[in-house]
């Protein structure tokens, strides 16, 4: 059994967080971008939507290659396109160009999902949950911290500065990964077409994978609706700008820091119990949001709980799917994460719609409905959640 050193594990964790942050820099900046291009809130939400759609496509096209192509080759192509896309976003002179650039930013920012299966592969059965938890900690802290950073940078220097800074950061990270990340030679010898065809095989034959994908998609749809519309609530109810909106990510980080703990619990506790606990947290958080349109304290409590609930559910989902099919961990992760971010894209659109017509009450009810959907799926198919 290959061993995963702590230095490599934490390098993957930090890298996952820094790259995935590219997906979320835009959310606290949507109001500024709308002002720049003189568009409404619904139109500017397409920046976030197409970033997530690009990410989902990147997961589908790029991540399965982790079972066929060395990780170093994937990184070389991906980082080159990623840096170009970030620069293109920074210099965009129309909303359309920014949306197109954002799509490719999302597409190339899928590579952190190579690190999660890598951590699972290099760990033994007893330490797999811990390794996944540590990588996911970095990834989730990147997601949440990105909003804090972009909110502050946007408020002080404008939204374009965030994209320029991200491009420089990605160049430095690429150099570090080329020097320090170990190369992995996958065993799959078939064609790319056969590789992609096998995705359907795993989806069709693994009921636990399908259920994990559905749970993840519904949960992330709710979280995406929240973050897409929070900036509008801050402006309307409190008169705050992107800096305060982004700072809400700090409270979500409290939940993300629990990733290692959740990962360890996955190695010891029945996974159905963790899933049920996660669902209860999600429903509770959205109930708090419903009555917090004018309460910062309520919003803070809600964002902490919703991120903790999603975190626990997400790590448990991944531990379930990685415990089987070791020869295809990148492919089963592709199926799961594509579903996860399609859910996020749908949640972004539904959230924008709910805000436009029903404001924060509509967004909160949407989150409650999505969370109840996860509960319904859990109760109907509890016996099929895990198959080991």
Tokens for 123?
């760990």
Which of left, alpha, beta for 93 (phi over 0: left; psi -120 to 50: alpha)?
Answer: alpha
Q: pLDDT category, 1, cuts 50, 70, 90?
A: very low
Q: Which residue has the higher pLDDT, 315 or 124?
A: 315
Phi and psi, residue 241, nearest 5°:
-95, -160
**CA gap 284, 297 in Å, rounded:** 15
pLDDT at position 216? 94
SS (H, E, C) 164-181: HHHHHHHHHHHHHHHHHC
Could you read off the pLDDT of 234-264 as tens digits, one per residue?
888 888 876 777 677 677 666 666 656 666 6
As a whole number, mean pLDDT of residues 228-238 equals: 85
Percentage of the chain lying above the pLDDT 90 cut:
33
Q: What is the pTM of this model?
A: 0.75
What's the residue count for the chain?
388
**CA gap 232, 360 in Å, rounded:** 9
**CA gap 380, 197 in Å, rounded:** 29
As a whole number, mean pLDDT of residues 27-56 equals: 86
Tokens 């920046």 locate to 47
Cβ proximity of 20 and 139 under 8 Å: yes
List, in order of start, the domains of the chain with CATH numbers.
9-384 (1.20.1250.20)
Q: Is the pLDDT of residue 119 over 80?
A: no
């Amino acid at each position: 059994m290959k061993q995963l050193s702590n230095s490599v594990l934490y390098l993957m964790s930090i890298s996952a967080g820094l790259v995935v942050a590219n997906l979320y820099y835009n959310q606290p900046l949507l109001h500024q971008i709308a002002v720049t291009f003189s568009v409404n809130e619904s139109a500017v939400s397409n920046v976030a939507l197409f970033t997530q759609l690009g990410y989902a496509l990147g997961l589908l096209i790029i991540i399965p290659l982790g079972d066929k192509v060395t990780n170093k080759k994937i990184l070389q192509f991906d980082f080159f396109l990623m840096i170009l896309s970030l620069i293109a976003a920074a210099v965009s002179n129309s909303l359309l160009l920014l949306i197109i650039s954002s799509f490719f930013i999302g597409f190339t920012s899928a590579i952190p999902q190579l690190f999660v299966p890598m951590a699972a592969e290099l760990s033994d059965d007893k330490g797999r949950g811990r390794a996944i938890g540590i990588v996911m900690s970095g990834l989730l802290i990147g997601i949440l911290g990105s909003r804090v950073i972009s909110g502050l940078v946007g408020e002080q220097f404008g939204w374009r500065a965030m994209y320029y800074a991200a491009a420089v950061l990605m160049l430095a990270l690429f150099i570090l990964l080329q020097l320090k990340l170990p190369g992995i030679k996958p065993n799959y010898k078939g064609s790319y077409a056969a590789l992609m065809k096998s995705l359907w095989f795993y989806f069709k034959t693994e009921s636990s994978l399908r259920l994990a994908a559905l749970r993840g998609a519904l949960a992330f749809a709710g979280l995406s609706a929240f973050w897409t519309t929070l900036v509008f609530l801050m402006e309307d109810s409190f008169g705050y700008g992107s800096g305060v909106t982004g700072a809400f990510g700090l409270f979500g980080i409290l939940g993300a820091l629990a990733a290692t703990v959740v990962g360890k619990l996955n190695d010891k506790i029945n996974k159905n119990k963790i899933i049920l606990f996660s669902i209860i947290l999600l429903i509770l958080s959205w109930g708090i949001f419903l009555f917090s349109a004018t309460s910062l304290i309520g919003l803070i409590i809600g964002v902490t709980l919703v991120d903790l609930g999603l975190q626990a559910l997400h790590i448990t989902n991944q531990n379930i799917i990685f415990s089987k099919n070791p020869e295809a961990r990148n492919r089963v992760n592709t199926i799961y994460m594509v579903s996860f971010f399609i859910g996020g894209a749908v949640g972004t659109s539904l959230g924008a719609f709910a805000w436009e017509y029903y404001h924060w009450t509509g967004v909160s009810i949407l989150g409650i409905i999505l969370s109840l959907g996860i509960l319904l799926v859990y109760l109907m198919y509890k016996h099929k959640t895990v198959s080991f």
